[in-house]
Amino acid sequence: MNNDIVTIEPHEGLKTWGWVSYLLHLVVAVAAVLPGAQVSIALLVVALVIDLVKRSDAANTWQASHFSWRIRSVIWAGILYLLTSWLWLLFIVPGWIAWGLISVWFLYRIVKGMVRMNAGRSVEAA
């Protein structure tokens, strides 16, 4: 009988939460880029809540930058969508282009963060 106790490092738990959040963000980001793909904004809200709740647990770790990265990505995308929403009211095509560019930018940030986390690096690291 094996009595080995398996322990999970706290950083691994953070990494798991980070992957859950990144995957939720990725689903939303891909859907935003693909015409006709619709997902609930609830996925983005769930991911944002995970990041806000777990961010303090990641303080002073390489993963802290990932929590901040995802939070900033959502906030900036939201601000940019709001600032360009008037384009939809006056000019449909420029609104479509602006929101398409914002969506591609958001997708880029999520993929970049995922690649860096997979490599065990902070997001700001080159």
The pLDDT tens digits for 40-87 are 788 999 999 999 999 999 999 999 999 999 999 999 999 999 999 888
Q: E strand or H helix at 107, and its extent?
A: helix 92-118
Range of the domain at 24: 10-118
Question: What torsion do the CA atoms of 113, 116, 118, 121 make, to the nearest 10 degrees?
Answer: -130
The answer to the question of residue 28 being in a domain is yes
With respect to residue 27, please indicate whether it lies within any of the assigned structural domains: yes
Q: Is residue 62 part of a domain?
A: yes
The upper half-sphere exposure of residue 7, i.e. CA atoms within 13 Å in the direction of its Cβ, equals 3
66 assigned to some structural domain: yes
pLDDT of residue 91: 77
How many structural domains is the chain composed of?
A: 1
- Residue 39 inside a domain? The answer is yes
Output the pTM of the full model. 0.83
30 in any annotated domain = yes
In-domain check, residue 14: yes
Q: What is the pLDDT of residues 4-21, one digit of tens each?
A: 554 445 567 899 999 999
pLDDT recorded at residue 8: 47
